[in-house]
Structure 1
Amino acid sequence: MLTQRAGSRVPPDVGRVLSAVEEAAEGSKLWCGTAAALAAFGGWRGRRAAAAGLAALAVAQLLGNGLCKQLARRPRPPKEWVPHDEVEDRPDSPSFPSGHTAAAVAFTAAVAPVWPAVGAVCAVPAAMVAVERVQSGAHYPSDVAGGAVVGLAGAWLARRLPRLVLRRRLKPGP
């Protein structure tokens, strides 16, 4: 029901802006571009934020697209539920979880602890990507929520995995 209503409730001008942001985020271009700008112009903190964001994005993509989509195999919302032409542009891959949302949330959640102001700025297009995925008919709201959880898990794992690996390597043997 919410999926059906989402496409018709967004004004056309807002829909175009959401689509433009989603297009920029396609293939993680938006997040990789942001990381490049942070690394080039942000000094040590920018390089650290960029590395954290890209690591989290990679982990989230592995979790979401490599594992969760293969396990869930959920079909996309029915095309007749979406009252506009964007429904024709959606991918054929499984619907759950939203990989776009997972990448956006992972990058943002990893950048925010390193550079909170930049994390807050990244949260705006991340939220727009999440809304667009439902508005365009590409995902159910639960797919987007699942993608956000995968993104948060990706950021958490990317931050903690190096410490866990080092701790295991440095631990004295029996």
Structure 2
Amino acid sequence: MSFTEVDYRVFQLINDLGNNISILNPLMKILASKAEYVFYVGVVVYWFTRQEKHRRMVAQSLLSASIALAVSGVLGVFFYRDRPFVTHSVLQLIPHPANASFPSDHATAAFVIAASIWIFRRKAGYVWLILAACIAFSRIWTGVHYPSDVIGGAGIGIITAILVNQLFLRSTKALKYLNLFIHGYEVVESKVWRRKTSP
């Protein structure tokens, strides 16, 4: 049995759960199409705690996400394949354009941010990684991705987060520029705050 056949068999097993355990379909729809916003809110909340560690974490996660999604986009062009609902008869629970299936941008984005948080905050990071895994799983359940799509996206996200962190650990110049960016923002933030609070 080829890899493609195994991938489709596993997809069928998960996608068929939408018929067999339909009570979970509303939850899977939310996870597949809305849960990514939890990551955006989380990044904003961490940033505005104004803790140095959190701001570095957020800056790294946003840089990592930009790189990971760029890599995902390039791979989607060079290793293009159709979505499951284009090639097969599937239970499709959410609308989606018939664009590149591999790799999953949702899985890439969720895992790159979750992994970035995990690097700085282990306990909280595990929670974010579990949420990322739920999003990835729901993309298969709802019929818009194959298992290898989300595994590929997760791999891209995690590896990118680790490599970017290693860059800042090993390169004092890179860390200097990151700190300059954060400091520059904080200078502007301080000026804006003073204007708002001044009589």
- Asked if Structure 1 and Structure 2 have the same fold, meaning a TM-score greater than 0.5 normalized by the shorter chain, the answer is yes
Match of 1:124 in 2: 130
- Please report the RMSD computed on the Cα atoms of aligned residues, expressed in angstroms: 2.2
| Kept after mapping to 1: 8 A contact 2:85/2:144 | no
Q: Deviations over 1:18-39 (max 9, x none)?
A: 221232245xx33221100111
Structure-1 separation of matches of 2:16 and 2:55: 41
Q: Deviations over 1:65-91 (max 9, x none)?
A: 2x11011111111355323543xx123
1:113 is matched by which residue type in structure 2? Answer: I
Match of 1:19 in 2: 29
TM-score, normalised by the number of residues in structure 2: 0.72
1:55 is matched by which residue type in structure 2? Answer: L
TM-score, normalised by the number of residues in structure 1: 0.81
Q: How does 1:2-17 map to 2 (within 5 A)?
A: 2-10=10-18, 11-17=21-27
Counterpart selection for 2:59 from 47, 51, 61: 51
Q: In the alignment, does 2:74 pair up with 1:71?
A: no
1:13 is matched by which residue type in structure 2? Answer: I
Q: In the alignment, does 2:119 pair up with 1:113?
A: yes
Structure-2 separation of matches of 1:165 and 1:92: 44
Describe the SS at the equivalent of 1:81: coil
Q: Which has the larger radius of gyration?
A: 2
Describe the SS at the equivalent of 1:91: coil
Work out the percentage of aligned pairs sharing the same amino acid: 26
How far did residue 139 of structure 1 move? 0.9
Q: How does 1:95-114 map to 2 (within 5 A)?
A: 95-114=101-120
How far did residue 127 of structure 1 move? 0.9
State which drifts further: 17-26 or 69-78. Answer: 17-26
| Kept after mapping to 1: 8 A contact 2:92/2:144 | no
| Kept after mapping to 2: 8 A contact 1:63/1:154 | no
Structure-1 separation of matches of 2:166 and 2:99: 30
